Structures are given as C-alpha cells and as structure tokens.
Chain A
Amino acid sequence: MTELCFQLKGSVATILLLELHHYTADAFAGQLQQKVEKAPQLLLQSPIVISLDKLRDDGDAPDLEALLGQCRQFGLQPIGFRACLRFDEAIRATGMAILPQTSGRSGAVLRELMPAGEDDNAATAQASASSGVAVPVVSRFTRLPSKIVTQPVRSGQQVYARDCDLIVMSHISEGAEILADGNIHVYGGLRGRALAGVQGDVGARIFCHSLEAELLAVAGNFMLSEDFRGKVWKKPVQVCLKGEKLCIEPL
C-alpha cells in the first residue's frame, strides 16, 4: 500500500482583512506606515486579504499592483482579494486569489488582538489597515428596476440580476443558477441553485412556486437540498435570513 502524500481538508482560518475604502498611493502609504508602527507584532509578516467590497468610488479598480507592492513593502503578505464581480479581471491580472464574499462577521477576535487604545481611534482604524468588520454589512444598496425572465433557465445557464430583483416566470432547471443582488421570485419549479442578496443584503428573500432547489443562499448563507427535503419540498415557500440562519417558510 502506498502512503497518502496528502489529504485535502476544509478549514477556517482567521485572517486579517484590509478593507479599502478609497485609494491614493500617498495617503495609503502614510496611513499604513502609522498602522504598522503601532502594531508591528500583529502586522509584520501577516497574511492579509484585501477587501474591495467597501471601495467608495464606483469607477475602475485601483492600481492593484501598486497597492500590493506597498503592502509587501510594509511587511504584510497579501494572499488574495475579496471583491465584487466587476473587479475580477483586474484581480486575476495580479495572479492573486479571489475569495468569495461573505457577509463578514469576523473581526471580533482580531479587535481583541489589536493593541489597547486602537478602538478609540475609530477614524483612523476605519480608514486604514484595520480588520473591524464586526458591524454587519448594511451598505447603500441602490435598486434598479427588476430583471424579468420569461423563459426557463436551463441547465448550464446562469442569470444574474445586478443591483436589482430577479423575477423568473418559468422554471429553473437542475444545473442552472440564478443570482440577484436583491430578491428572487420564481413562478415555476425552482430546481437549480438560487442565491439572493449576493452583495451581502441580509434582507433579501427568495420566493418560489415549488421548492426543489439544489441550493438556496441569502447573503452568502446557504442550504443544500438535503437540508430541506422534508415538509417544504415541492411547496410554495419564501426563504429569508433570520440572524445567520436561513429560514424556509411555507407561503
């Protein structure tokens, strides 16, 4: 028998998050330097994930290469980015990993690790290399008119309603995927995967005529069909988030 060389395992690691709010090279360098001087033991050689979720300007991606260079210069080790789809291309060009968005409930532990007095300094903490994402993400979701699909969404197809609700007047096949920044309504069998609030709106809901889904998710919290193949199967339901738990309620 040959010995296994490796084993793949799921794991959860707590990682420092650098949440970028806006970026100009000089201001960033200055603030990062301050941060590192204050808490060198925490920041030096730390792996970090750079989040572009809260980036204020809606334009192009900031100069990511420059950003990465500065982080490394100050002893941080960026391992990847967390960002919405529109930055995918820019991130890929850097060769860094793209991490899925979560509604970000980490941070608490890190806060304790930060040197005392850090929390009082709220303004700078927010503007630079702080982890503080303890507050649930409630950002300004601007909603556009709903996207309406009249045809079935077939296996292999994906429909994404950006910045709006998604209404499908037919069925969603197994192997199909529908996503919306807002709510999802399906007036037919929901047999594929449905993800509402994909940018983190915890108030988003999924409504469907017949629940036969492979996966349901609201703001990154998901359930697989094996979790709801009971009473609600093939029934009209709504799906919403209560705290961190997905709830399925008959309509």
Chain B
Amino acid sequence: MAKIIVVTSGKGGVGKTTTSAAIGTGLALRGHKTAILDFDVGLRNLDLVMGCERRVVYDFVNVINGEASLKQALIKDKRTENLFILPASQTRDKEALTVEGVGKILDELANDFDFIVCDSPAGIEKGALMALYFADEAVVVTNPEVSSVRDSDRILGILHSKSQRAEQGREPVREHLLLTRYDPQRVNIGEMLSVADVEDILAIPLLGVIPESEAVLKASNQGQPVILDGQAKAGQAYMDAVARLLGEKVEHRFLEAKKKGFFSRVMGVR
C-alpha cells in the first residue's frame, strides 16, 4: 500500500511545488516507486518544475472523467527511475476534482506505488481540501514569517478536522514541518522568525529547514528539481529531509549564518 503524502501550506508561493518535486524525486532516488500528483487545477506548475511540460497529453481531470486511463496520463520521468508525474489540467476549474474521482485514482495508484506525493494548491478551498483529504502524512511548508505560519496553523487545524482520517476517527495524519526559504542572516537581524519561533507556534516535529537559495530558481527554470543539484545547500537540505521522512536520524544543517572568511569572500563561494 502506498503512503500518501500531501505537501500543503495554506499560503501561496511558499515553495509547495518546489518541495513536491524535490521530495518526490528524492524518494524515487532512494529506490521507492513514487508518483507526484498536481492538484493545482487551472494553474499547472509541477510539470514545469519537473521539466516535462511538453510531454503532457492527458491530465488529472481527464482521468477523473474517464477520458483517459491513469496509465495514459502518468508521465514517466526521464532522469529518475521509479518516478511518475500526474499533471493538473490547465483548462478546468477546481470543481472538477471530486472525492470519488480522486479516491479512485489514489486507490488505483496505491497498489503499484510506494509513495504518492500530492502537490496542493494554495488556500483552504476545494483544491487544497481534495489534496489533503486522503493523506497519511502531511508536509506543511512554511516560510519564516508571521502570515505563512498563521496559514500553516490553519491548515493543521483543517488536517485535524477535515481529512478522511479525522472523519473516520482513525490515527491522525502525521504532520511534518518544513521550513523553507530560511535565511539565518535575516533571522539574526530580526527580519524573519527563527526555527525555534516557528516550532513554538506550530508545535509539530521539524522535518527540515531549506535555506533560501538562488539554486532553486535556477533549477526550476531548467525544469530540474533542485534536489538533483548536489552542490546546492537547498538540494542537500531536501535530501536530508527525505532521509528523515524515511525514518533516518539526520542532523539539521544550514541553520546558522556562516561568517564569510577571507578565502570565500575572494573566491565568491556561496
């Protein structure tokens, strides 16, 4: 049975799609057969970040409406073994997603896959609710600023009341905090919340801290998940997070601002 992981946040633009692509790819790199599902119907971003936008023929809504089979719609990733993408539709609205339709697709995938990563749209409306409804685990993507933390708190409340697990009174969805776009220097001068501040407010286990990094934008422009960039801190931090998701104990890195030494200043090393 596949484990269903929703990547969610409430607030928009905090790094959900970046994270879905990275974590999905990371799980596949670790040998687990993984599918990443784009629930952001109408916007469709995941395929761009994964660099497979030209290979999209059928999408999520086509499968729900029975216009295509799941097999036809799933796109096999070219770089990474064991990795598949189900793109969102660009022409429909979020109403096209139904509990029955989504449930059927997840059931069908569950037999074949180890992990299903659901990239949630922003907000707390239909699309976001659909993405989290069937989740076993949730990666709550949060930026170190007050409004993002507040929205994450809301989403955690919704996971507790509106997920299928909550409705059926089963064991609650396992929650993970992923703090992204973290900039220790700005934390030091009080422009951003610290890891401790955010942990204190949300009170859920910390899966990882992804530093603010130019490599992320570069990677998504190239259609390559940043986790494949082993040189970038953000890529390494995502790899660590995947290891923790798989139950390994890994120290947190990149939490402190490094004082730039003479050498790195001269060489321009980031």
Contacts and interface: CB of A to CB of B under 8 A. Distances in A.
A163 B200 CA distance: 32
A152 B161 CA distance: 12
A173 interface: yes
Contact of B154 (A151, A170, A171, A175): A175
- Most chain B CB inside 10 Å of its own CB: which residue of A153, A170, A173: A173
B153 A173 contact: yes
Contacts, number: 34
Contacts of A156: 124, 153-154, 157-158
A152 B152 CA distance: 13
B165 interface: no
Provide the main secondary structure of the chain A interface: loop
Interface in A118-153: 151-153
Interface string B162-174: 0000000000100
Interface residues of A, number: 13
Contacts of B201: 173-174
A23 B266 CA distance: 88
B166 to A, nearest CB: 10
Contacts of A154: 153-154, 156-157, 160
Nearest to B150: A155
A41 interface: no
Provide the main secondary structure of the chain B interface: helix
A186 to B, nearest CB: 13
Contacts of B158: 156
B8 to A, nearest CB: 13
B203 interface: yes
Interface in A167-207: 170-171, 173-176
A178 to B, nearest CB: 13
Contacts of B154: 154-156, 175
Contact of A170 (B124, B150, B153, B203): B203
A14 interface: no
Nearest to A157: B157
A173 B154 CA distance: 9
A157 B203 contact: no
Contacts of A170: 203
A14 B158 CA distance: 42
B203 A155 contact: no
Nearest to A189: B200
A175 B150 contact: yes
Nearest to A155: B153
A107 B203 CA distance: 48
A155 B202 CA distance: 10
Contacts of B153: 154-156, 173-175
B207 to A, nearest CB: 18
Interface string B139-158: 00000000000100110111
Nearest to A191: B201
A171 B203 contact: yes
Nearest to B200: A189
A156 B156 CA distance: 10
A171 B153 CA distance: 12
Contact of B161 (A155, A157, A173, A176): A157
A151 B157 CA distance: 10
B203 A152 contact: yes
B156 to A, nearest CB: 5
A171 B200 CA distance: 10
Nearest to A174: B150
Contacts of A176: 157
B76 to A, nearest CB: 39
Nearest to B151: A155
A152 B154 CA distance: 11
B114 to A, nearest CB: 29
A174 B151 CA distance: 11
A185 B157 CA distance: 20
A156 to B, nearest CB: 5
B128 to A, nearest CB: 13
Interface of B: 124, 150, 153-154, 156-158, 160-161, 172, 201, 203
Given A151-B172, A154-B157, A173-B153, 16 more contacts: A152-B156, A152-B203, A154-B154, A155-B153, A156-B124, A156-B153, A156-B154, A156-B157, A156-B158, A157-B157, A157-B161, A173-B201, A175-B150, A175-B153, A175-B154, A176-B157
9 contacts: A152-B156, A156-B124, A156-B157, A156-B158, A157-B157, A157-B161, A170-B203, A173-B157, A175-B153
Closest 5 interchain pairs by CB? A154-B157, A155-B153, A157-B157, A156-B154, A155-B154
